Structure 1
Amino acid sequence: MSPSFTFRGPALFSYGFRPFFLAATLFALGVIPLWWLVWTGRVALASPLHPTDWHIHEMIYGYGAAVVAGFLFTAVPNWTGRLPTRGWPLAGLLALWLAGRLAVAGVFGLGALATALVDQAFLLAVAAMIAREIVAGKNWRNLKVLVPVSLLWLANIAYHAEAALAGTAWHGHRAGIALLIFLILLIGGRIVPSFTRNWLVQRGATALPVPFSRFDGLSLAGGALALVSWVAAPESLATAVLCGLAALLHLGRLARWRGHATWRSPLLLMLHLAYLFVPLGLAAASAAALALTTEATATHLLGIGAIGGMTVAVMMRATMGHTGRPLVAGPLLTAAFGLTLLASLLRAASDLMPGGPALSALLWTAAFALLALRLGPALSLPKTARRHPSSLAPKG
């Protein structure tokens, strides 16, 4: 290995997934118990945001944005063939992320405008650095990844603006979730069938996931239209129709990836199960538009189930593969994933279960305690001697 490729700093800052996956895991572990204390009136934050707005904002732009950054700063070098962002630039990005969390929680005592300025800096820096790497590597086909990331940055600014002007950020809640869901449709629709195909080929299977086709393009377009309608008018008939159709499209898309054949590989099956919560959440959004259920049901199926489940599955796979460990979930990681999905189902059904929110928060916290226990050392310590193929994103 050439000296120019050797990183001699702390292992935590040797690759993009390490600091951001660790930060996301620890943040998710602590922020939900804190939210429970805020929600029950035991703790008061000095945040310029309403407590509910703070909670939703931090799950999207705190936890979600950290996982997105960790994924992209690891996947993009794989796509471009360039060295990953390391060392002080990575530490600086982590500091920007942390400053945003403290500012939004009211720790700095800033007003609404100053808080928004501090908070938006992280996603702006992520988008700029990703754009630089893709352009420098002339990897033009992946420039499309910048669109949802840039939109997520703009949505964060709009979130703060809506909260300041309207008193709450109802559209902002849905916009942030919708953009993360679209990233799952875009990136998950690439990695899930690719990893499944590779695994099945290694085992001599002849029935493989269907390659990307016009149906996938139709599914992405249908999903985008449904999400836009849900953000703009969640109670409209158009939303009911579009979300219902999108749910069917993505259920069909998922069925083409042969997830049922991966039951022997929990780490792979997790990706399929997490994606399943996208059509479940879209179906719930359709039902909510017809007043058959509440919007909170759709929000938590999409937010905890799809986003939480997919991010947990991706962090597991990337961490194990990129730190030289076998791509095996084991009992702790399998339990953590299961608890995450169960937390989503319980929270979505909380209208029928008075104790659902409390139990859901407990399960989420337990899930991330297991993740921190299992992934924490792998993320913060040097890579093991054993090497494994890239497990985060296919090349291209």
Structure 2
Amino acid sequence: MAQTVVLRRSQAPWTIFSYGFRPFFLGASLWAALSMALWIPFVSGIVVLPTAFDPVSWHAHEFLYGYLGAVIAGFLLTAIPNWTSRPPLIGWPLGLVFLLWVAGRVVMMFSMGLPPFAVAIVDLSLPVAIAVVAGNEILAGKNWRNLIILALLAAFILGNAIFHWEAARGNFAAHGYGLRIGLGVTVMMIAIIGGRIVPLFTRNWLTRRGGGRLPVLPMQTFDKVALLILLAALIAFVVRPAGTVTALALVLAGAAHTWRLIRWAGDRTVAEPLVWVLHIGYAFIPLGAFGLAGNVLVPDLITPSATQHLWMTGAIGTMTLAVMTRATLGHTGQNLAANAGTLCIYIALLAAVAMRLAAGIWIDHAMWLYTCAGAAWFAAFGGFAVAYGPLLLRTKTPV
């Protein structure tokens, strides 16, 4: 099996289509940078984009279902063959799936005058294709442990469809059910997958450095309880985000996942950014839960959209960038260690989180802070494309 896969990868027409992560991580980083560069003048009224969506809804959709959709696709198309020991999707089939994502970005950008149903169908084609591929491989490989991923993908697709439906009805989709479903699904996905990889990668790194206090083994009874609490809180958030019961559930989920994170020995990883960034990314799950609860219990302290970005820019942005850098290094034969450039990428993203949060506190300076946060975001993902793009485009070269 392994030799056959290596042979198939070597026969891919272009190196970029030899692994699922290659086109999708590169495309995701470029789109994250470009869409932000377009959005700041769009929301400021300086330019007008030919999209049928209002500036905030277009921005929210292209982050959650555009950028993140590509990262999820790249991650799953790379991970599932390892989970199932089944042949990977490579070559022209992978290229065609990638084109579905590109088509989605094009129709969202130029949706003005297009039938909303047609825009939705094109945009939904990628997540549906990924769900079909993932479902076939997981079922064929009898990889029952990861059936939960199929359920989350189905909910992610539903959220995107509802987002389109809300926008077509003239609603402000950025504050609708579609966005909250997609956001909730993604936070749950980070909690599940992050709950596997953060303690595992931390344990491996600490063991190589001589051991000592190690993270607890993943998915023990407490972890399962913490995930169920988070699931309940996220459902409440989707249904009634401003409810008191929702706020209390979010506080409980925040406390549970703070303790979960503490058990992973993140304080011992300060010497390696490639590891500590995973802990910071996960930390935004409880921070976001506490922040959104605070919007209900202590209103007017900070805007809900700002605290929501603790999950969006914070948890999703940081964790995806952490996985993209680590997976690219690992799968291209590089040392699993962050250089100065990678550290700068992480710092730029964390600066974007801080400035976006500040925009929700100092409302009078919000537009200026949006611009600063957007510039830092652009630097992070543009920096990834510049630093990691060459690795994604060339064959595996161990160093």
The bucket for the TM-score relative to the shorter chain is over 0.9
SS at match of 2:211: coil
Q: 2:306 aligns with which of 284, 297, 301?
A: 297
Give TM-score, length-normalised by structure 2: 0.94
Query: Residues 226-277 of structure 1, C-alpha deviation per residue, up to 9 Å, x if partnerless?
Result: 1111122111101110111111111100000001111121101110011111
Residue 228 of structure 1: aligned partner: 235
Alignment of 1:1-396 (within 5 A): 2=3, 5-6=6-7, 7-8=10-11, 9-106=13-110, 109-169=113-173, 170=175, 171-211=177-217, 212-290=219-297, 291=299, 292-353=301-362, 354=365, 355-386=368-399
- Structure 2: runs of 5+ lacking an equivalent: none
- For residues 3 and 143 of structure 1, the distance between their equivalents in structure 2, rounded to whole angstroms, comes to 26
Q: How many residue pairs end up in the alignment? A: 386
Choose between structure 1 and 2 for higher RCO, CA contacts under 8 A separated by at least 6 residues. Answer: 1
Deviation of the 1:2 alpha carbon: 4.1
Cα displacement string for residues 38-59 of structure 1 (whole angstroms, at most 9, x for unaligned residues): 1011221232222211110000
What is the distance in 1 between the residues matched to 2:360 and 2:22? 38
Kept in 1, the 8 Å contact 2:111–2:119? The answer is no
Q: What letter corresponds to residue 205 of structure 1 in structure 2?
A: G
Distance (Å, rounded) in 2 between the aligned partners of 1:67 and 1:54: 18
Change (3 A) 1:4 1:310: closer
Runs (4+) of structure 1 exceeding 6 A deviation are none
SS of 2:359's equivalent? coil
**Cα deviation, residue 3, structure 1:** 5.7
Q: Indicate if the aligned counterparts of 1:48 and 1:111 stay in contact, CA closer than 8 A.
A: no
SS in 2 for 1:349: helix
Which whole-Å CA distance do the structure 2 matches of 1:153 and 1:193 have between them? 29
* Aligned residue type for 2:342: L
CA contact (8 A) 2:160 2:179 kept: no
Any idea what the Cα deviations from partners look like across 1:369-395, whole Å, max 9, x if unmatched? 211111100011111045xxxxxxxxx
**Does structure 1 conserve the Cα–Cα contact (< 8 Å) formed by 2:20 and 2:94?**
yes
Cα displacement (A) at 1:5: 3.5
Identity %: 42
Letter in structure 2 aligned against 1:376? G
**One-letter amino acid matched to 2:178:** G
Asked if the contact 1:134–1:140 (Cα under 8 Å) also holds between the matched residues in 2, the reply is: yes
Q: Which has the higher mean CA deviation after the structures are superposed, 40-49 or 336-345?
A: 40-49
Q: Distance in 2 between matches of 1:298 and 1:226?
A: 16
Task: State the one-letter code of the partner of 1:365.
Answer: F
Distance 1:217 1:107 in 2: 42
Q: Which amino acid aligns with 1:201?
A: T
- Aligned letter for 1:156? N
Is 1:33–1:365's contact at 8 Å kept on the other side of the alignment? yes
Deviation of 1:203 (Å): 2.3
8 A contact 1:5–1:83 mirrored in 2:
no
Deviations 1:147-194 (A, max 9, x none): 111110111101111122252222222222111111100101111011
Q: Indicate the SS of the match to 1:83.
A: coil
Cα distance per residue 1:16-37 (max 9 Å; x no partner): 0000000001001100010011
Map of 1:390 onto structure 2: none
**SS of the residue 1:47 aligns to:** coil
1:265-309: CA deviation from partner (whole Å, max 9, x where unpaired): 110111001111111111100001221432112211110011000
Contact 1:12 1:18 in 2 (8 A): yes
TM-score for both structures, normalised by structure 1: 0.94
Inter-partner Cα distance in structure 1 for 2:278 and 2:289: 18
Cα distance in 1, alignment partners of residues 361 and 156 from structure 2: 33
Structural RMSD (CA): 1.4
Equivalents in 2 of 1:137, 1:213: separation in Å?
Answer: 25
- 2 CA distance for matches of 1:108 and 1:235? 33
**How many Å apart are 1:218 and its aligned residue?**
1.1
Letter in 1 for 2:190: I
Q: For residue 350 of structure 1, what is the amino acid of its counterpart?
A: A
CA displacement 1:197-235 (0-9 Å, x = unmatched): 112222221321112211111111111111111122111
Alignment partners' CA distance in 2, 1:228 and 1:118: 28
